[in-house]
Amino acid sequence: MSDSDGATRLWGARFSGGPADALARLSVSVQFDWRLAPYDLLASRAHARVLSRAGLLDPAELGQILAALDDLEQACATGEFRPTVDDEDVHTALERGLLERLGSLGGKLRAGRSRNDQVATDLRLYLRDHARGLAVSVVELADALTEQASRNIDTPAPGMTHVQHAQPVTFGHWLLAHVQPLLRDLDRLRDWDGRTAISPLGSGALAGSSLPLDPAAVAKELGFTAPAPNSMDAVADRDFVAEFLFVTALIGVHLSRLGEEVVLWTSTEFGWVELDDAFATGSSIMPQKKNADIAELARGKSGRLIGGLIAVLTMLKGLPLTYDRDMQEDKEPAFDAIETLSLLLPALAGMISTMTVRVDRLAAAAPVGFSLATEVADWLVRKGVPFRDAHEITGKLVALCSVRECELEDLTDDDLKTVSEHLDPSVREVMSVESALAARTTPGSTGPGPVAEQLAQVQHRLDTWRQWAVEKVVPR
């Protein structure tokens, strides 16, 4: 209906005048929910067909409505049709567009549906569609890490706990340790998609419809697996938004951990990695600077991704069934998460794939900090010494080295004998990074053998994800 102020509104007959400016300004969502327009039009087509099968639109009317929806979609795509400041939300704007094209016939499409089931449907469609694009970018980052790992299967590096040298590892293993969380993120996206593929259309405002609609047919047409089993839940449920934001927040956390490591690796103190000029930034005052801004933004942007999740969970907490306007706050965090990650992931992938790994620096750092002490303890265990005693003996060796400011392999045969009767010069065979790495042959461990196996598995799994990521789930 067109009010005295000229605005198209989906309500208003029972009101004596238009809304106060302050209300209109607070309530308007079209500036962000306009992103849902293509999905709203898609759902409108499916709804028109169902109305026609129910005998509520004759074939000529259906034809006119479908043609007008096509025309409107075209006009939206070219920017010829745009929402105005008076359109409260995407649904209002598109109804205006339809009315402009069809006159009162355009008003027939609203039968049997409400913005409540519409918005829930649109957002599910939008997120399912964009989750695949997100998966493409996650796979590309995983590919970049995997490719660097394949070049560093046997590059020694000082594995750390507490940011202290712990045990030698291969750098390939380390890089793949950043791929594994991304593979779990892809798993989470797929699981989420399965739960999100439920169609709310047909639920109306909350109670379903007295019109002979066919929710199962609409669900099928929109690429959903089934219609919602409960109309009240269908319009009140935003689990799919919260869960999506959990997945994106966790991706953000994973990227922040990778980002933090790249910041460390590229520092002068570490010097393990050099970034390509195209993926680093300089300083306006210090000409020598080369900064890892992408890695820092990966760390920093995790904050807004986590914030989006918390905002939506807090918004939902304690909300009575069914739809409440609070729920309009679900969209911006979801859009922001997608847009944030669609900027961050390609930048990180480019940074990782073009970085130069300083193999010499990594190899030199690998044995530093007594990282081979565990090898000595394990050697003693193989001689039958209880690990508790082996730990004690090796600790004494380290203490002796600390006093002398030397490395384990610098200790003399006499030193060894003095510390423990169980030690003899043949222990030196395990005091090398190469032997420590080669000794790690069990599946999932850091030796070059198991890392090569892991790499093959990861590449195979990424090929599967690559296919999943480009599957079309929303029939657009």
Per-residue x/- track, 258-297, ligand ARG (CB under 6 A):
----------------------------------------
Dihedral of the alpha carbons of 374, 376, 377, 380, in degrees to the nearest 10: 160
Please tell me the distance from the alpha carbon of residue 225 to that of residue 199, in angstroms, as a whole number: 8
Q: Are 473 and 193 in contact (CB under 8 A)?
A: yes
Please tell me the distance from the alpha carbon of residue 440 to that of residue 435, in angstroms, as a whole number: 9
332 makes contact with ligand ARG (CB under 6 A)? no
Handedness of CA 394, 397, 399, 405 (dihedral sign): negative
110 makes contact with ligand ARG (CB under 6 A)? no
Minimum CB distance to ligand ARG smaller for 34 or for 270: 34
Please tell me the distance from the alpha carbon of residue 394 to that of residue 373, in angstroms, as a whole number: 6
Please tell me the distance from the alpha carbon of residue 161 to that of residue 15, in angstroms, as a whole number: 66
Please tell me the distance from the alpha carbon of residue 41 to that of residue 331, in angstroms, as a whole number: 18
**Residues ≥6 apart with Cβ < 8 Å to 152:** 170, 171, 172, 175, 357, 359
CB of 184 to ligand ARG, least distance (A): 31
Query: Which residues, 336 to 375, sit near ligand ARG by CB under 6 A?
Result: none
CB of 149 to ligand ARG, least distance (A): 44
CB of 42 to ligand ARG, least distance (A): 17
Q: Are 447 and 438 in contact (CB under 8 A)?
A: yes
119 makes contact with ligand ARG (CB under 6 A)? yes
Please tell me the distance from the alpha carbon of residue 178 to that of residue 349, in angstroms, as a whole number: 12
89 makes contact with ligand ARG (CB under 6 A)? yes
Minimum CB distance to ligand ARG smaller for 8 or for 29: 29
Minimum CB distance to ligand ARG smaller for 33 or for 154: 33
Cα 371 to Cα 177, 210, 377, 432, 436, distances in angstroms: 20, 73, 12, 10, 10
CB of 473 to ligand ARG, least distance (A): 22
CB of 27 to ligand ARG, least distance (A): 8
Strands (E), 243-389: 273-274, 356-357
The candidate with the shortest Cα–Cα distance to 166, out of 407, 371, 393, is: 371
CB of 318 to ligand ARG, least distance (A): 17
Options 48-56, 114-122, 155-163, 184-192: segment touching ligand ARG (CB under 6 A): 114-122
116 makes contact with ligand ARG (CB under 6 A)? yes
CB of 104 to ligand ARG, least distance (A): 23
Minimum CB distance to ligand ARG smaller for 120 or for 430: 120
Count of residues of this chain found to bind ligand ARG when the rule CB under 6 A is applied? 10
Options 115-123, 192-200, 404-412, 453-461: segment touching ligand ARG (CB under 6 A): 115-123
323 makes contact with ligand ARG (CB under 6 A)? yes
Minimum CB distance to ligand ARG smaller for 47 or for 440: 47
CB of 329 to ligand ARG, least distance (A): 8
231 makes contact with ligand ARG (CB under 6 A)? no
One of 9, 45, 96, 115 touching ligand ARG (CB under 6 A): 115
Cα 212 to Cα 133, 187, 207, 427, distances in angstroms: 36, 38, 14, 83
**Catalytic machinery residues:** 162, 283
Minimum CB distance to ligand ARG smaller for 159 or for 204: 204
The candidate with the shortest Cα–Cα distance to 147, out of 170, 168, 172, 169, is: 172
103: left (phi over 0), alpha (psi -120 to 50) or beta: left
Options 111-119, 126-134, 168-176, 221-229: segment touching ligand ARG (CB under 6 A): 111-119
Per-residue x/- track, 27-46, ligand ARG (CB under 6 A):
--x---x-------------
327 makes contact with ligand ARG (CB under 6 A)? yes
Q: Are 51 and 112 in contact (CB under 8 A)?
A: yes
Q: Are 312 and 242 in contact (CB under 8 A)?
A: yes
Residues that bind ligand ARG (CB under 6 A): 29, 33, 89, 115-116, 119, 323, 325, 327-328
